[in-house]
Amino acid sequence: MEKVALMDFSYEELCAFVVEELGESKFRADQIGQWLYRGAEIEEMKNLSKDLRAKLSDRCIVGGVKIVKTLKSQHDDTQKFLFELRDGELIEGVLMGYHHGHTLCMSTQVGCRMGCAFCASTLDGLVRNLTAGEMLSQIVAVNKELGGGRHVDNIVLMGSGEPFDNYDQVVSMLRRLNEKNSVGIGLRNVSLSTCGLIPGIDRFKKEGLPVTLCLSLHAPNDQIRNKIMPVSCAYNIKDTIAAFARYIDETGRRGIIEYSLISGVNDSVECAAELSRLLRGLRVHVNVIALNPVKERDLNAPTAARVQAFLKELENRHISATRRRLMGEDIEGACGQLRHKTKQEQNA
């Protein structure tokens, strides 16, 4: 019989499993849940009888991820983690220490199939989706690593993967962030970033989950966007912005537009002016960042002066925009630098 991954159960499902399948009381399900979200292995669940632990080991796995490598930035309070999944696949995550707490940038897929020209996560294509349990496990593992009562306060779904390409597991993970015994992260402390899968945006708006939606736009028109984001060929910019606007309207949340500046591609003052026209009247904030270099890609960041000029043009046109702080660049932990790694590369 295939073992079940305990972390993949919601609270209700865990209770049902413990009561109906294992013939134990609901109280035991709570105890197990508390251990799971502390990152314990079955043999460490000391307040369960030996018998029950043996039964669990027989039928279940914890189903989480393990931190196998940690890199600390020399310049800022950023750490990059390499997580190993149960099938040996590796994913990366980044923890940023801000004054308002710890923010974990986490992955939703192993690899990605969106094919954006500037992003390292998509170089090997999509390997597989992560389960809700594997996503929650990234938070649990980091909490355990932080120790001393410190824990992840905010999450951003901006690691490898396209969240709406793994829709059901992502939504199930989001619903479980705040259930009993879980990691206790409010949905207002969650940002979900999408490259613009319109059906996903429209469906997500109906879930009633108050997360901040971020749209990776990176261009003011289809002509430029087609060159760097294949998704743009399926969904044009006008329809994408309209879907984003519907999300903002119906949820009452402010949206975030992500715009990574690539030298000579999307960084001119004319692009900034065109972007302002596109976003006029929308309740959005634009996060501008200079491209983070990815060695396999022949794309460069603009000069600081060009970044400033781009921001100034947005400001002059009354578009709320800031340059996002660059963090973790020295450990390849900045946006778009997280990649799928193989075992050999892990040791390199």
Q: Which residues bind ligand SAH (CB under 6 A)?
A: 114, 116, 118-119, 158, 162, 193-195, 216, 258, 260, 289, 291-292, 294, 335-336
Q: Active site includes 92?
A: yes
| Shortest Å, Cβ 108 to ligand SAH | 8
Q: Which of 231, 229, 166, 228 is nearest to 192 (CA)?
A: 166
> 78-84 and 66-72 as β-strands: parallel, antiparallel, unpaired?
antiparallel
What is the phi/psi pair of residue 50, to 5°? -55, -40
Strands of 237-330 (E only): list them. Answer: 255-261, 284-290, 321-323
Q: Cβ–Cβ contacts within 10 Å for residue 265, how many?
A: 20
Q: Quick one: 35 or 244, whose CB is closer to ligand SAH?
A: 244
Looking at the Cβ atoms of 105 and 177, the one nearer to ligand SAH is: 105
Q: Among 52, 49, 89, 106, which residue's Cα sits nearest to residue 342?
A: 89
Q: What letter represents residue 35's amino acid? A: W
Does the active-site annotation cover 43? no
Min separation Cβ 112 and ligand SAH, Å: 6
Cβ count near 49 (within 10 Å): 11
Nearer CB in complex with ligand SAH: 42/314: 314
Min. distance of Cβ 198 from ligand SAH in angstroms? 14
Considering the complex, state which of residue 28 and residue 205 has its C-beta at the smaller distance from ligand SAH: 205
In whole angstroms, the minimum distance from the beta carbon of 333 to ligand SAH comes to 12
- Which of 15, 105, 119, 335 does the annotation list as catalytic? 335
> Smallest gap, in angstroms, from Cβ of residue 101 to ligand SAH?
20
The CB density around residue 41, as the number of other CB atoms within 10 Å, is 13
**Nearest to ligand SAH by Cβ — which residue?**
336
Name the residue nearer to ligand SAH (CB basis): 52 or 217: 217
Q: Up-side HSE of residue 264: CA atoms within 13 Å toward CB? A: 3
Per the residue annotation, which of 84, 92, 258, 332 is the catalytic one? 92
- Minimum CB separation from ligand SAH for residue 163, in Å? 6
Query: Of how many residues is the chain composed?
Result: 348
Q: What is the CA radius of gyration of the chain?
A: 21
CA distances from 103 to 87, 94, 152, 217 (A): 27, 8, 6, 23
Which lies closer to ligand SAH via its Cβ, residue 28 or residue 225?
225
- Helix (H) or strand (E) holding 190, with range, is strand 190-194
Alpha helices, H only, 180-291: 198-204, 222-228, 231-234, 237-251, 269-279
Q: Which residues are catalytic?
A: 92, 335
